[in-house]
Structure 1
Amino acid sequence: MWGCSSTNQMGDAKALKPQPASLVLATPLQVSYQSELALARLGQMLTELELTSEQRAELFYERAVVFDRVGLRSLARLDFNRALREKPSFAEAYNFIGVYLVQQQNYDEAYEAFDSALELAPDYDFAYFNRGIALYYGNRPELAAADIKRVYEVQPEDPYRVIWLYLAEQKINAAAAMSRMRERLNQHDDGAWNWDLVRLYLGEINASQLMANVVKGVKDNKELAERLCETYFYLGKFELGKGNRKEAISYFKLALSNNVYDFIEHRYALLELELMARKPLPPGAQSNEPAKSSASS
């Protein structure tokens, strides 16, 4: 689920510097010529060629992945379901369907989809990871932590898995989760820029320092947009954990603004905004969100 969107927008990322408010922006990714051509080619193959059920399933799946990459999720889900009708043993299609169900907050159906994927492919790490995230949002932190820990142990040098494992464990025991995250940083930090996200949660750096490091080594606008999508999402989760709803909302919207549709951070930034919109503040709490007006978008 960590595929990268293509873009024909190229910018001089090295010239970008953090703004006074620690804000870094990229040109939002656009649908590439390659993606448009792939959609046309796959559609032509599906309508004009004589195909077996296996071949049709593979083509429907491939087209669904491209639809997903360019943000056409309803069309993607339709094709994933078509792939499953042609090939009921398509584990990867069940995994995608599960992710869409989580975004719609249909958690029980999402668990069933991920369970189906794992019955068909017991070592499918992405299905475990996505089921763990579903369990996290479904308020089953013990089960979420178990799934995400399994995936973390496969690749402990991945800071995103470290953060998601912390988020699940934090719901069980915040102090213990923080201690284990520090141990994981000390054991597996390889100097990659995204370990700064872990340092942010540990209090070793602040948001301004994080944003100053995001642009280092960036080669083009596409890479910058992907980094910002990730960074702003985890900043949003960080601020939300401190009770700063206004800041969290801003960061989640910034994560969405990069149009990196197939990153989990883009998918769940939108879910986070929907959850906050539906969740009332505790009695007596003061909201730091700006009042909405009829002109608000």
Structure 2
Amino acid sequence: MMLAGCSSPPSQWTQPPMAVPFQPTIQQQIQLARIDQLLRRDDLDGNTLAQIYYERGLLHDSLGLRDLARLDFNQSLSLKPDQPDVFNILGVYFTQSAHFDAAYEAFDSTLELNIRHPFAQRNRGIALYYGGRYDLASEDLNAHYQQDINDPYRVIWLYLVELEVDEQQALDKLRQRYAAADKQDWGWHIVRLYLGEISEREFLGQITTESEDNEVLAERLTEAYFYMGKVYHHNKDYASALMLYKLALSGNVYEFVEHRFATLELSRLTAEARRETPMIPAEDEDS
């Protein structure tokens, strides 16, 4: 079992599988230029401007330009304050920066405007998890899981929350949810890894051989390295977790939650490691 204890990084990680990092596409750059031209017009009403700022924010976000994206989302919201999608993504940004109370408020606003929003409850659950409010996080993520028991990522995040409360019970529930699912989605391989049904070598080997192009490879490796990092982090193997979180960031898959929260995990990991080993020098954070 991966959770049986700390371990040194496997030898195959000396040359871990990697994808060519995502780069801005011509289409994205053209779309940004067109939006900038639109914003120079003086005949647009408030609702139209709000939509344009929102779309530019999404573009900036997809390129990893999150400060610019946040400015666009705030501008959109100032023009049209009843936008659940904008509150939702701002809540994710607040979570990334560890401003958890602001994140909870943003997700609450999303759900007040659209109780059926597809991501706000999950995102609020994740924010509650990072804020250390595990009971409330479990409520949100369990309700989200019940809406689709065949989604492996709902199972994984619920497991990560339950792992903080009772490790053995979390593993038992993970097995039960795995058994109840149709297991069609690729993400179930992550669950199989957590259950010890496949080794890390087999897991990474499947990704490299079964990914049909670089885009799929980058996306799957982002997920793989993040969720592997979570296990090593939990086991206080900080060196291995640090490397895995950095690998999760390496593909520039900015829109994936695993990329979004890898930077937050790095900050948390560094703080935890320094508390347990006070002599860790400051520069190790960026090594």
Question: Are positions 1:276 and 2:269 aligned together?
Answer: yes
Alignment of 1:15-54 (within 5 A): 20-21=12-13, 23-48=16-41, 50-54=43-47
Which one-letter code corresponds to 1:116 in the other structure?
S
Comparing 35-44 with 130-139, which one deviates more in the overlay? 35-44
Comparing 128-137 with 45-54, which one deviates more in the overlay? 45-54
Q: Aligned pair in 2 of structure 1 residues 64, 249: CA closer, same or farther (>3 Å)?
A: same
Question: Are positions 1:122 and 2:115 aligned together?
Answer: yes
CA contact (8 A) 2:249 2:262 kept: yes
Q: Deviations over 1:212-265 (max 9, x none)?
A: 111243221111111111111001001112221110000000000100011100
Alignment of 1:1-297 (within 5 A): 20-21=12-13, 23-48=16-41, 50-280=43-273, 297=287
Q: Percent identity?
A: 42
Q: Aligned pair in 2 of structure 1 residues 109, 24: CA closer, same or farther (>3 Å)?
A: same
> What is the Cα deviation at residue 49 of structure 1?
5.2
CA contact (8 A) 1:27 1:258 kept: yes
2: distance between equivalents of 1:268 and 1:45?
33
Q: Aligned pair in 2 of structure 1 residues 274, 49: CA closer, same or farther (>3 Å)?
A: same
Q: Specify the SS of the correspondent of 2:146.
A: helix
- Structure with bigger helix share is 2
2: distance between equivalents of 1:111 and 1:194?
27
Q: Aligned pair in 2 of structure 1 residues 89, 286: CA closer, same or farther (>3 Å)?
A: closer
Q: Aligned pair in 2 of structure 1 residues 286, 178: CA closer, same or farther (>3 Å)?
A: farther
Q: How many residues align?
A: 275
1: distance between equivalents of 2:208 and 2:139?
34
1: distance between equivalents of 2:282 and 2:273?
15
2:4 corresponds in structure 1 to: none
1: distance between equivalents of 2:21 and 2:51?
30
> What is the Cα deviation at residue 279 of structure 1?
2.4
> What is the Cα deviation at residue 292 of structure 1?
7.7
Which one-letter code corresponds to 2:264 in the other structure?
L
Q: Deviations over 1:18-71 (max 9, x none)?
A: x94372111111011111111111111122252221111111111100100000
* Structure 1: gaps of 5 or more residues: 1-18
2:6 corresponds in structure 1 to: none
2: distance between equivalents of 1:94 and 1:56?
17
2: distance between equivalents of 1:93 and 1:20?
42
Q: Deviations over 1:124-165 (max 9, x none)?
A: 130111110000000001111111112112222111111101
Q: Specify the SS of the correspondent of 1:279.
A: helix
2: distance between equivalents of 1:49 and 1:150?
46
2: distance between equivalents of 1:122 and 1:293?
45
Q: Deviations over 1:62-90 (max 9, x none)?
A: 11001000000001000100111111101
Which one-letter code corresponds to 2:124 in the other structure?
R
Q: Root-mean-square deviation (CA), in Å?
A: 2.1
Q: What TM-score do the two structures reach when normalised by structure 1? A: 0.87
> What is the Cα deviation at residue 191 of structure 1?
4.1
2: distance between equivalents of 1:229 and 1:161?
17
Q: What TM-score do the two structures reach when normalised by structure 2? A: 0.90
